[in-house]
Amino acid sequence: MKDSVEAPRGKFVDPQVTADGAPRARVALSDPQTLWFNTGTLCNIECANCYIESSPDNDRLVYITTPEVEDYLDQLEQRKWGVHEIGFTGGEPFMNPQMMDMARAALARGYHVLILTNAMLPMMRPRVREGLQALHRDYADKLTLRISVDHWTAKHHDTERGKGSFERTLQGMRWLQAQGIRMAVAGRTVWGESEPDARAGYDALFRAEGFDIDAHDPATTVLFPEMDENVPVPEITTACWGILNKSPDSVMCASSRMVVKRKGASTPSVLACTLLAYDARFELGTTLQEAEQDVALNHPHCAKFCVLGGASCSA
């Protein structure tokens, strides 16, 4: 009788080991600095390569509410996480009718607030502009809007976001600059240019527009690698930390968690990562206490975006 042969294991399947049987790398929540809230996946546009598939029709993550945000802010104080930044992402956060109230709730408790936006029509509605002016008046140094500018040229940006979107985003940025509201920018590194060339291009754009944004500061002008799950990437083993001379504390899930509200759910959930909103393996529970567990790097994004790409969504 022949011995049974174990079927080959696929990549990014087993949370404990990689496809070749090596111990999979794990990351502990060692220094929580940012708590993210997804405000809902509805967006005014539909990008060609949106990691969370936001669109005018995608409501898989529904609008989170101010009382729900405040509950997690209470939990932050109870758990003594030491978080200094509250981030809001979407979808387009300014489509959520409670965005201003949620931002104010976080700012009033002393947190820095980072809002990710395309700076287009939802942000430019009179009610939202009035709300941003009020927040800036009351908490100027603690509020930052990170604007999605995929490339420093209209040609490439519009390829991703639709014809005319570059100019509409610049119009929003010009208004923010006129108000003195702090801005940062998020771009992409998918255009076949070196990082120095990309930063030089952004620098020229910011200078031409008079934007007070440092194109050479990676925390202010963040350049994200593309997240394509179909591109082969290596799995991260425990040995990789030494091979790469990298600490697990430098990976995003060591310092952040994200709260989402799924369509049909009675309560929000806490996820390990802002990039993996639909993968059940990265859902950690409904409370921050449950979310204190460590995270297995069991997804291509963990390898390409965070460990090998060195990217982080936080400021």
pLDDT per position in the chain (315 positions), as tens? 334 434 446 899 999 999 999 999 999 999 999 999 999 999 999 998 888 899 999 999 999 999 999 999 999 999 999 999 999 999 999 999 999 999 999 999 999 999 999 999 999 999 999 999 999 999 999 999 999 999 999 999 999 999 999 999 999 999 999 999 999 999 998 888 999 999 999 999 999 999 999 999 999 999 987 766 667 788 999 999 999 999 999 999 999 999 999 999 999 999 998 888 998 899 999 999 999 999 999 988 888 878 887 656 666
Neighbours of 305 (CB within 10 A): 24
Whether 10 maps to a domain, the answer reads: no
Cis ω on the peptide bond leading into residue 91 (within 30° of 0)? yes
Dist. CA 99–CA 270, nearest whole Å: 19
Paired sense of beta strands 112-117 and 269-271, if any: unpaired
Dist. CA 78–CA 87, nearest whole Å: 19
What per-residue confidence (pLDDT) applies to 191? 84
What per-residue confidence (pLDDT) applies to 8? 46
User: Do residues 72 and 48 lie in contact, with contact meaning Cβ atoms separated by under 8 Å?
Assistant: no
What per-residue confidence (pLDDT) applies to 208? 98
Task: Give how far the C-alpha of residue 193 lies from the chain's centroid of Cα atoms, to the nearest Å.
Answer: 23
Whether 303 maps to a domain, the answer reads: yes
Dist. CA 264–CA 284, nearest whole Å: 18
What per-residue confidence (pLDDT) applies to 314? 64
Whether 201 maps to a domain, the answer reads: yes
Whether 50 maps to a domain, the answer reads: yes
What per-residue confidence (pLDDT) applies to 13? 92
CA atoms within 13 A on the CB side of 200: 5
CATH number at residue 258: 3.20.20.70
Closest CA to 90 of 143, 160, 43: 43
Whether 4 maps to a domain, the answer reads: no
Closest CA to 12 of 290, 272, 250, 230: 230
3-state secondary structure of 185: strand
Residue numbers of the domain that contains 250: 32-308
What is the longest distance spanned by two Cα atoms in the chain? 80
What per-residue confidence (pLDDT) applies to 304? 80
Dist. CA 220–CA 57, nearest whole Å: 31
Whether 25 maps to a domain, the answer reads: no
Whether 3 maps to a domain, the answer reads: no
* pTM across the whole model: 0.93
Whether 72 maps to a domain, the answer reads: yes
Q: How many domains does the chain divide into?
A: 1
